[in-house]
Structure 1
Amino acid sequence: MKISSERLSFRFFKHEDFQLFYSVFSNETVMRYAWIDKVSNEESANTLFEGFINTGDEVNKDGSYAFAVFSKEGNEFVGFADIVIHSRNNSGGCGEIGYFLLPEYWGKGFATELAKALIEFGFTRLGLHKISARCNSNNLKSEGIMKKAGMTLEGEFRKVRFKYGNWDDEKNYGILLEEWKAANQ
């Protein structure tokens, strides 16, 4: 299963992609606001990585689709993207998108493009009726990406993320299928 956008292509992670995966999840700058801390060694990263390997077009065991993201120009590894399905029924379902880009791709519109592609994938290919995203309230750049992707602030949870010895708030954004359709006509 593949996704693409104007400048990016997405594909499932393969076993030989471990070093790419590790380059994201071991990067302190990338993981600064993430809900998990950066991985400190390859052994702990491999445990996490194995959960994201998908050898078919099926959803992963944890209800997610995780993708390695590459630039179409130069086929350079840009980062990690996923969509997790939280609930599903005959009328649709709810999913959550996430993304981590390597710092050299920040500030160039790649994250917004990636988020929009994940949202489109969730609505058109997975049949979801709502897609959400969340970020550490201190991560204003990630919040900006959610806004540019058409998402609406739905709430803020107080002191739910523990990072660097402090409890941080978390902002939650969402977009409904009908909102996405209206914006993309």
Structure 2
Amino acid sequence: MKTNYPMLETERLYLRELTLDDADAVYLHFSHPEVTRFMDIEACRNRKEAEEIIAFHVADSGCRYGIFSKAANELIGTCGYHCWSTEQGVSKAEIGFDLSPSYWGKGYMQEAIRPLLQVGFGLMKLDMIEATCDPGNVPSQRLLTRMGFVHVGVTADNLLIVQISVKEMCALTSSFAVIFS
């Protein structure tokens, strides 16, 4: 299911797939404990760990975009898909994202997720996009709700499960429906 993912651009951001050439920037980003606080990884201790993060996503069936600020021309976060599968005729993947603390609360992640959803439902032909979220990560819960995700359950390790379907996404935005109709 691996595919070539396009570079994405918004008003303030550009998103492109991470490569090993990004290891220094990824190390700086993931070395902040605030970034990894609600993730299933520890803060990076060295460049090799950053390379391992990138290599994991390169080998995975989904993708991991670097989120770059146009104004600062630097990596400010990452977002993408993993766990891409088709079960009982339903194609789905899990979305994940993280952002440097100095960019929190300024709408950057919402700006990045909009085109990422279009990649998921359009290019990847997903029927469903899921996310898991730590109950303590209220800002991410709010973001996912604003983006149209609905709560559907809880994992065995107490993470909230939210999801959005292509039909729900089309109902939310007429412009999205035109792209995929």
Q: CA deviation at 1:90?
A: 10
Distance 1:137 1:89 in 2: 27
Contact 1:3 1:121 (8 Å CA) reproduced: no
CA RMSD of aligned residues (A): 2.0
Question: How many residue pairs align between the two structures?
Answer: 169
Contact 2:131 2:162 (8 Å CA) reproduced: yes
Cα offsets for 1:26-49 (capped at 9, x unmatched): 210111111222222223332223
| 1:10-21 equivalence runs, <5 A | 10-21=15-26
Distance 1:45 1:17 in 2: 9
Cα offsets for 1:99-126 (capped at 9, x unmatched): 1111111000111222222212100111
Distance 1:5 1:91 in 2: 33
Mean Cα displacement is larger for which, 111-120 or 132-141? 111-120
Cα offsets for 1:155-176 (capped at 9, x unmatched): 1235x1xxxxxxxx21111000
Amino acid at match of 2:129: I
Which of the residues 16, 37, 42 maps onto 1:37? 42
Partner SS state of residue 30, structure 1? helix
Distance 2:11 2:124 in 1: 20
Unpaired segments ≥5 residues, structure 2: 1-5, 175-181
| 1:73-92 equivalence runs, <5 A | 73-88=71-86
Partner SS state of residue 84, structure 2? strand
Distance 2:160 2:44 in 1: 24
Partner SS state of residue 111, structure 1? helix
Tell me what 2:179 maps to. none
Q: CA deviation at 1:14?
A: 2.6
Unpaired segments ≥5 residues, structure 1: 53-59, 161-168
Amino acid at match of 2:32: N
Question: TM-score scaled to structure 2, two decimals?
Answer: 0.84
Contact 2:30 2:50 (8 Å CA) reproduced: yes
Which of the residues 121, 136, 139 maps onto 1:138? 136
Q: CA deviation at 1:25?
A: 1.8
Amino acid at match of 1:35: D
Tell me what 1:3 maps to. 8
Cα offsets for 1:39-81 (capped at 9, x unmatched): 22223332223233xxxxxxx4321211111123343322111
Tell me what 2:118 maps to. 120
Q: CA deviation at 1:17?
A: 1.0
Amino acid at match of 2:148: G
Tell me what 1:174 maps to. 163
Question: TM-score scaled to structure 1, two decimals?
Answer: 0.83
